[in-house]
């Protein structure tokens, strides 16, 4: 009994899974839809299943379909409740973590019954700092200081959104692109070189830098597509290796005089010309730059590409089932190369946002861990363009707020990252939250409970036993 | 039936855990709150706040971040000041971290390493009323509120090279670096010259592997993180016959240490020369094989800069650590004291005096300039 009460299709994105399942297939029951999915996915068992779950690939259309009815529907099935509980759970768990690791909290816990407020204050302060560092700082001296956090969130989110879009695009085409890191590095490398080595008039220079970044990323991503399409090499191993190659190539280039400042042997490139930089949107005291607008434009473009264009339809078809797509007359090889090139170009754009937006020079750590965070962003955004956009904003807020958590409350950065990862984990895995609180939305939804149960029942009971 | 029983049991056990936890909390929570002031520090409390931003190595890097942080902590203890510190996880964190320190009202912010050079410069320019100090980096275009703290490490590394050449039994010594950057290669330059000086003076031919001073190229890990790679490199050096290794790679030095411990357990006689801090104290795991360390006494420098700033005596002229002012030094031999012959010790003392007086010139492309 208990197995059937807590089944969920997947850790990620189950809500839209059943929303999609409810609305998507006219006529047939969802069980048939799922069964046909599996058959399509593996060509009746003759093909190995795709590395990316079919359910992830199908996510795209939710956005067009999310009408008011489905919002109500979600509330009634307890999703708002689950979201609230996930954040609550993360906050409580994070609080316990801080209590264990922070001597001040431990001290306050020691006299909890004498002054209970102290413990609460010590535990709540880091969360307050998180909000103050990412959204609005009500303690700021002037309006600029109060608004600084939200601009910082947007700034940090910019490269995450661009690279996340690239990863999401790959997912939708059935490619597990974990090469965003290398593609960002190449975009940054190309863009930065044009930025500091060439001296061009304003406007043209930035345009060429962006173009170079797009080309750099597209080349590095396109190589993956080419290898996959021509030789069948698996994109995961190829992208991992290309990440290493890009990283060490960057480190090597930074030891050569062409990429170093005059009279210095430190591995840092000269500053980009001011003509090559994204204009600051709100003046010099904020880091927010026009790259954010480019990221918004990229989101719209990817949405259009996936949902309104023929190429995007081909990408999704290839992602759902390459064999069926080939049978239907789609050039799978061409699609694979193209999707990786576009994904690479988007990641390259993230690289440009780094060198032309925030860093203004090229260093070994210019890509930080954006390429890997982008994978989480894309998954959290359920591989939809706007989902990725908002997941990028969330991550940006965490990164920006993490600085304040550290600076204001002296919470160690590692604990900050653990707490943030917990929040993401719970947001991304509502089934876990439902299981923990013993919530069971399926009881109210007799139509789908059977489906979901039969879909994953075997796996679940195997795991539970 | 069975399943529901199990579910019930699970709930029961969770409730049990919760009860136990609550009980523990109840017992632990009966202490008395601290008295209102509660301050028992030696120095009188001050509102002055000194801050520090690490580079991506973090404050526990057993290298310059850690030494600088210790300086900050001792300033807190000795001067009764407030402190704040933030650790950077990536190169992209420097700018926002520095901004947050200024927003937090830091009077003096110490940054660590050349990677923070540009961020320090731009934030210092934008905040002329805040003071900054940067460890291991100097830029002649810094504004007047940045004090560089730099070290002529080659001087102490020269002594280490002479010591290594004099103690090596195989006639081969080795070094490797983290990344080919000036603050790393300055150690290797000095070490190479020390070995060369020993050969000239004694008519010997002790070889150095891992660094070519003329070509400014040698063996590098590629970063300051891959401890296992440090181990593999060191094993390679030992196989080539080297018996003293100088790893200039922060925490990666631990890899060299464990390779040498392994070799020692197989009966091979090999030794390690630590860098930045006295490894005998900061890396006690390897103290049985640490011959000496090329020290940069950053903690003292940081504390004195903070003290000067607190007393209103901040100035932007660079602090250059040398053998003469004790900013760089060769650490004591500790447990391996007996491995160093008495006449070699007196030669080292003389050499130190000669370097201070300028009789022996130590030159490195990477040495800081006024």
Which pLDDT tens digit goes with each residue over A172-222?
Answer: 999 999 999 999 999 999 999 999 999 999 999 999 999 999 999 999 999
Query: Which residue in chain A is spatially nearest to B30 when comparing CA positions?
Result: A111
Residue B176 near residue B230, CB atoms below 8 Å: yes
Per the model's pLDDT, the better-predicted residue between B321 and B9 turns out to be B321
A 251-310 residues inside an 8 A Cβ radius of B: 251, 255, 265-268, 271, 284-285, 287
Backbone phi, psi, residue B253, to 5° = -55, -30
Contact A111 B32 (CB under 8 A): yes
Is residue A305 predicted with pLDDT exceeding 80?
A: yes
Q: What is the DSSP track for B136-198?
A: T---TT--TTEEEEEE-THHHHHHHHHHHHHH-SSSEEEEEESSS-HHHHHHHHHHHHHHHHH
Q: What is the pLDDT of residues A8-35, one digit of tens each?
A: 444 444 444 444 444 444 444 444 444 4
Give the neighbor-by-neighbor strand order of the sheet with B328-330. Answer: B207-209, B172-177, B244-248, B271-276, B290-296, B328-330
Mutate to test the interface with A, among B90, B103, B126 (most CBs of A within 10 A): B103
Positive/negative CA dihedral, B307, B309, B311, B317: positive
Residue A376 near residue A167, CB atoms below 8 Å: no
Is residue B6 predicted with pLDDT exceeding 80?
A: no
Mutate to test the interface with A, among B10, B22, B32, B33 (most CBs of A within 10 A): B33
Residue A95 near residue A109, CB atoms below 8 Å: no
Percent of chain B whose pLDDT exceeds 70: 88
Is residue B125 predicted with pLDDT exceeding 70?
A: yes
**Sheet strands (E) in A198-259:** none
Q: Is A47 on the interface with B (CB under 8 A)?
A: no
Is residue B219 predicted with pLDDT exceeding 90?
A: yes
Give A445's contacts (C-beta < 8 A, 6+ positions apart). Answer: A18, A77
**Span B316-330, average pLDDT:** 92
Which pLDDT belongs to residue A161?
A: 97
Which pLDDT belongs to residue A451?
A: 42
Q: What is the DSSP track for A244-272?
A: HHHHHHHHHHTTSGGGS-TT--SSBPPPP
Residue listed under structure tokens 């070519």: B212
Q: Which residues of A181-198 are buried (b: 16+ CB within 10 A; e: fewer)?
A: bbbbbbbbbbbbbbbbee
Which pLDDT belongs to residue A23?
A: 40
Which pLDDT belongs to residue A441?
A: 58
Backbone phi, psi, residue A110, to 5° = -65, -30
Query: Which residue in chain B is spatially nearest to A145 when comparing CA positions?
Result: B103
Q: What is the pLDDT of residues A326-344, one digit of tens each?
A: 999 999 999 999 999 999 9
Which pLDDT belongs to residue A156?
A: 95
Query: Which residue in chain B is spatially nearest to A415 when comparing CA positions?
Result: B87
Positive/negative CA dihedral, A392, A397, A402, A403: positive
Angle at alpha carbon of residue B207, lines to B206 and B210, rounded to 5°: 145
For residues B120 and B147, membership in a common domain is answered with: yes
**Span B238-250, average pLDDT:** 94
Is residue B174 predicted with pLDDT exceeding 80?
A: yes
Q: What is the pLDDT confidence band of residue B365, given thresholds at 50, 70 and 90?
A: confident
Check: complex ipTM more than 0.90: no
Q: Is B31 on the interface with A (CB under 8 A)?
A: yes
A 134-163 residues inside an 8 A Cβ radius of B: 145, 148, 152, 156
Q: What is the pLDDT confidence band of residue B29, given thresholds at 50, 70 and 90?
A: low
For residues B216 and B306, membership in a common domain is answered with: no
Residue A365 near residue A268, CB atoms below 8 Å: no
Pairing of strands B211-212, B207-209: unpaired
Angle at alpha carbon of residue A240, lines to A222 and A364, rounded to 5°: 90
Joined together, the tokens standing for residue A227 give: 């290898």
For residues B34 and B139, membership in a common domain is answered with: yes
Residues of chain B neighbouring A438 (CB-CB closer than 8 A): 11
Q: What is the pLDDT confidence band of residue A99, given thresholds at 50, 70 and 90?
A: confident
Q: Is A366 on the interface with B (CB under 8 A)?
A: yes
Task: Select from A75, A59, A64, A69 the least CA-distant residue to A18.
Answer: A59
Which pLDDT belongs to residue A438?
A: 77
Residue A343 near residue A178, CB atoms below 8 Å: no
For residues B170 and B111, membership in a common domain is answered with: no
Per the model's pLDDT, the better-predicted residue between A77 and A261 turns out to be A261
**Span A285-307, average pLDDT:** 96
3-state secondary structure of B292: strand
Which pLDDT belongs to residue A49?
A: 46
For residues B14 and B82, membership in a common domain is answered with: yes
CA distance A152 to chain B (A): 8
Contact B56 A266 (CB under 8 A): no
Is residue B8 predicted with pLDDT exceeding 50?
A: no
Q: What is the pLDDT confidence band of residue B91, given thresholds at 50, 70 and 90?
A: confident
What average pLDDT does the structure give for chain A?
80
Q: Which residues of B171-191 are buried (b: 16+ CB within 10 A; e: fewer)?
A: ebbbbbbbbbbbbbbbbbbbb
Contact B91 A248 (CB under 8 A): no
Which pLDDT belongs to residue B71?
A: 92
**Span A140-168, average pLDDT:** 94
Joined together, the tokens standing for residue B296 give: 């940069």
| Boundaries of domain holding B73 | 3-152+299-321
Per the model's pLDDT, the better-predicted residue between B60 and B253 turns out to be B253
Q: What is the pLDDT confidence band of residue B2, given thresholds at 50, 70 and 90?
A: very low
Which pLDDT belongs to residue A68?
A: 44
**Span B344-358, average pLDDT:** 95
For residues B182 and B56, membership in a common domain is answered with: no
Query: Between A110, A148, A248, which is nearest B222 by CB?
Result: A248
**Span B93-101, average pLDDT:** 92
Q: What is the pLDDT confidence band of residue A70, given thresholds at 50, 70 and 90?
A: low
Please check whether residue B366 lies inside any domain of the structure. Answer: no
Per the model's pLDDT, the better-predicted residue between A351 and A53 turns out to be A351
Which one-letter DSSP state was computed for residue B82? E
CATH number assigned to the domain comprising residue B291? 3.40.50.2300
Which pLDDT belongs to residue A162?
A: 97
Which pLDDT belongs to residue A78?
A: 58
Task: Find the helix or strand (DSSP H, E) in which A423 lies.
Answer: helix A413-428
Q: What is the pLDDT confidence band of residue A82, given thresholds at 50, 70 and 90?
A: confident
Task: List alpha helices for A46-141, DSSP H.
Answer: 54-57, 62-65, 68-76, 79-101, 103-110, 116-134
Q: What is the pLDDT confidence band of residue B185, given thresholds at 50, 70 and 90?
A: very high
Query: Which of A410-424, B27-41, B238-252 has maximum average pLDDT?
Result: B238-252
Q: Is A364 on the interface with B (CB under 8 A)?
A: yes
Residue A369 near residue A48, CB atoms below 8 Å: no
Joined together, the tokens standing for residue B170 give: 């195989």
Tell me which of B7-21, B53-67, B245-259 is least confident. B7-21
Contact B96 A410 (CB under 8 A): no
Q: Is A43 on the interface with B (CB under 8 A)?
A: no
For residues B273 and B232, membership in a common domain is answered with: yes
Percent of chain B whose pLDDT exceeds 90: 68
Positive/negative CA dihedral, B178, B179, B184, B190: positive
Residues of chain A neighbouring B32 (CB-CB closer than 8 A): 111, 114
Which pLDDT belongs to residue B43?
A: 55
What average pLDDT does the structure give for chain B?
87
Is residue A430 predicted with pLDDT exceeding 60?
A: yes
Query: Between B85, B95, B114, which is nearest A358 by CB?
Result: B95
Which pLDDT belongs to residue A153?
A: 96
Neighbour count for residue A443 (Cβ, 10 Å): 9
**Span B299-321, average pLDDT:** 92
Q: What is the pLDDT confidence band of residue A437, given thresholds at 50, 70 and 90?
A: confident
CA distance B86 to chain A (A): 6
Tell me which of A45-49, B96-100, B107-111 is least confident. A45-49
For residues B165 and B142, membership in a common domain is answered with: no
Mutate to test the interface with B, among A1, A403, A460 (most CBs of B within 10 A): A403
For residues B260 and B148, membership in a common domain is answered with: no
Please check whether residue B255 lies inside any domain of the structure. Answer: yes
For residues B266 and B308, membership in a common domain is answered with: no
CA distance B96 to chain A (A): 7
Give Cα A272 to chain centroid, integer Å: 28
Cα A121 to Cα B219: distance, rounded to the nearest angstrom: 51
Query: Which residue in chain A is spatially nearest to B27 when comparing CA positions?
Result: A110
Tell me which of A52-66, A145-159, B115-129 is least confident. A52-66
Is residue A461 predicted with pLDDT exceeding 70?
A: no
Is residue B266 predicted with pLDDT exceeding 80?
A: yes
CA distance B98 to chain A (A): 10
Is residue A345 predicted with pLDDT exceeding 70?
A: yes
Which pLDDT belongs to residue A361?
A: 94
Residue B323 near residue B155, CB atoms below 8 Å: yes
CA distances, A461 to each of A6, A49, A53 (Å): 10, 22, 20
**Span B177-206, average pLDDT:** 93
Contact B118 A417 (CB under 8 A): no
Number of domains within chain B: 2
Joined together, the tokens standing for residue A76 give: 């009634």
Task: Find the helix or strand (DSSP H, E) in which B354 lies.
Answer: helix B342-357
Cα A223 to Cα A214: distance, rounded to the nearest angstrom: 14
For residues B255 and B313, membership in a common domain is answered with: no
Contact B104 A113 (CB under 8 A): no
Mutate to test the interface with A, among B32, B98, B100, B221 (most CBs of A within 10 A): B100
Query: Between A2, A112, A404, which is nearest B3 by CB?
Result: A2
Give B312's contacts (C-beta < 8 A, 6+ positions apart). Answer: none
Please check whether residue B369 lies inside any domain of the structure. Answer: no
Positive/negative CA dihedral, A388, A389, A393, A399: positive
**A-B interface: how many C-beta pairs under 8 angstroms?**
114
**Span B323-335, average pLDDT:** 93
Which pLDDT belongs to residue A54?
A: 46
Angle at alpha carbon of residue B112, lines to B109 and B118, rounded to 5°: 85
Give Cα B238 to chain centroid, integer Å: 25
CA distances, A59 to each of A159, A209, A384, A387, B156 (Å): 23, 34, 7, 10, 62
Percent of chain A whose pLDDT exceeds 70: 75
Which pLDDT belongs to residue A331?
A: 94
Contact B33 A111 (CB under 8 A): yes
Q: Which residues of B79-92 are buried (b: 16+ CB within 10 A; e: fewer)?
A: bbbbbbbbbbbebb
Please check whether residue B157 lies inside any domain of the structure. Answer: yes
Which pLDDT belongs to residue A343?
A: 97
Which pLDDT belongs to residue A179?
A: 95
Cα B123 to Cα B119: distance, rounded to the nearest angstrom: 6
Task: Tell me the β-bridge partners of B273.
Answer: B292
CA distance A51 to chain B (A): 30
Is residue A450 predicted with pLDDT exceeding 50?
A: no
Please check whether residue B367 lies inside any domain of the structure. Answer: no
For residues B145 and B93, membership in a common domain is answered with: yes
Which pLDDT belongs to residue B24?
A: 52
Please check whether residue B362 lies inside any domain of the structure. Answer: no
Please check whether residue B229 lies inside any domain of the structure. Answer: yes
Residue listed under structure tokens 């790893």: B247
Query: Between B7, B117, B182, which is nearest A2 by CB?
Result: B7
Please check whether residue B365 lies inside any domain of the structure. Answer: no
Which pLDDT belongs to residue A455?
A: 41
Which pLDDT belongs to residue B188?
A: 96
């Amino acid at each position: 009994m208990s197995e059937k009460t807590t089944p969920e299709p997947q850790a990620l994105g189950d809500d839209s899974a059943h929303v999609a399942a409810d609305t998507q297939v006219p006529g047939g029951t969802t069980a048939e839809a799922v069964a046909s999915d599996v058959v399509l996915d593996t060509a009746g068992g003759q093909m190995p299943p795709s590395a990316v779950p079919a359910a992830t690939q199908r996510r795209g259309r939710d956005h067009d379909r999310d009408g008011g009815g489905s919002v109500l529907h979600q509330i009634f099935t307890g999703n708002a409740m689950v979201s609230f509980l996930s954040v609550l759970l993360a906050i409580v768990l994070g609080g316990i973590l801080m209590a264990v690791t922070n001597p001040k909290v431990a001290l306050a816990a020691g006299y909890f019954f004498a002054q209970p407020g102290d413990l609460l204050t010590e535990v709540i302060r880091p969360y307050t700092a998180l909000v103050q560092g990412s959204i609005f700082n009500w303690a700021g001296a002037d309006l600029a200081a109060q608004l600084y956090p939200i601009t910082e969130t947007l700034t940090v989110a910019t490269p995450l959104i661009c690279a996340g879009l690239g990863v999401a695009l790959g997912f939708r085409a059935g490619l597990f692109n974990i090469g965003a890191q290398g593609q960002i590095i190449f975009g940054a490398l190309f863009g930065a070189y044009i930025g500091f080595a060439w001296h061009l008039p304003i406007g043209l220079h930035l345009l060429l830098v962006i173009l170079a970044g797009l080309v750099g990323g597209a080349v590095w991503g396109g190589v993956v597509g080419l290898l996959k399409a021509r030789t069948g090499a698996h994109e995961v191993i190829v992208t991992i290796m290309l990440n290493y190659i890009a990283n060490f190539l960057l480190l090597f280039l930074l030891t050569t005089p062409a990429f170093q400042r005059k009279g210095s042997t430190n591995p840092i490139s000269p500053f980009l010309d001011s003509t090559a930089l994204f204009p600051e949107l709100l003046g010099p005291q904020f880091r927010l730059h026009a790259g954010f607008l480019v990221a918004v434009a990229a989101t719209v473009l990817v949405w259009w590409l996936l949902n309104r264009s023929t190429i995007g339809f081909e990408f999704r078809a290839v992602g759902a089932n390459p064999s069926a797509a080939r049978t239907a007359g789609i050039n799978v090889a061409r699609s694979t190369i193209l999707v990786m090139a576009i994904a690479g170009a988007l990641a390259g754009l993230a690289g440009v946002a780094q060198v032309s937006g925030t860093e203004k020079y090229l260093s070994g750590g210019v890509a930080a861990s954006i390429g890997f965070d982008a994978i989480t962003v894309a998954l959290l955004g359920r591989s939809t363009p706007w989902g990725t956009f908002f997941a990028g904003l969330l991550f940006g807020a965490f990164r920006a707020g993490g600085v304040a958590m550290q600076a204001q409350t002296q919470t160690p950065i590692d604990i900050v990252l653990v707490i943030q990862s917990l929040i993401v984990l719970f947001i991304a895995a509502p089934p876990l939250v439902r299981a923990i609180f013993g919530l069971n939305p399926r009881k109210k939804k007799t139509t789908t409970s059977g489906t979901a149960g039969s879909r994953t029942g075997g796996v679940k009971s195997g795991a539970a036993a | 039936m069975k399943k529901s029983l199990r579910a019930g049991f699970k709930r029961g056990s969770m409730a049990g855990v919760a009860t136990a936890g609550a009980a523990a909390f109840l017992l632990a929570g009966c202490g008395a709150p601290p008295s209102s002031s509660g301050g028992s520090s030696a120095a009188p409390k001050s509102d002055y706040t000194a801050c520090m931003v690490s580079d991506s190595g973090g404050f526990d890097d057993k290298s310059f971040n850690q030494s600088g942080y210790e300086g900050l902590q001792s300033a807190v203890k000795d001067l009764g000041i407030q402190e704040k510190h933030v650790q950077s996880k990536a190169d992209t964190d420097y700018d926002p971290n520095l901004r947050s320190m200024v927003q937090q009202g830091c009077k003096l912010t110490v940054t660590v390493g050349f990677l923070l050079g540009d961020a320090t410069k731009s934030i210092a320019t934008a905040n002329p009323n805040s003071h900054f100090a940067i460890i291991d980096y100097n830029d002649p275009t810094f504004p007047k509120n940045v004090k560089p703290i730099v070290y002529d490490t080659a001087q102490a590394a020269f002594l280490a090279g002479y010591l290594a050449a004099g103690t090596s039994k195989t006639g081969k010594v080795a070094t490797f670096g983290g990344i080919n950057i000036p603050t790393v290669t300055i150690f290797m330059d000095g070490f190479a010259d020390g070995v060369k000086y020993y050969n000239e003076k004694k008519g010997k031919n002790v070889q150095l592997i891992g660094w070519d001073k003329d070509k400014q190229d040698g063996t590098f890990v590629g970063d300051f993180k891959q401890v296992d790679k440090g181990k593999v490199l060191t094993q390679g050096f030992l196989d080539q016959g080297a018996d003293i290794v100088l790893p200039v790679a922060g925490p990666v030095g631990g890899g060299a240490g464990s390779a040498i411990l392994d070799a020692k357990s197989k009966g091979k006689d090999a030794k390690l020369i630590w860098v930045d801090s006295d490894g005998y104290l900061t890396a006690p795991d390897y103290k049985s094989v640490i011959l000496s360390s090329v020290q940069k006494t950053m903690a003292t420098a940081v504390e004195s800069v903070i003290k000067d700033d607190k007393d209103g005596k901040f100035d932007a002229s660079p602090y250059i650590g040398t053998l003469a002012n004790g900013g760089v030094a060769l650490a004591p031999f500790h447990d391996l004291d007996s491995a160093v012959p008495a006449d070699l010790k007196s030669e080292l003392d003389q050499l130190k005096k000669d370097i201070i007086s300028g009789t022996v010139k130590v030159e490195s492309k990477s040495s800081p300039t006024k």
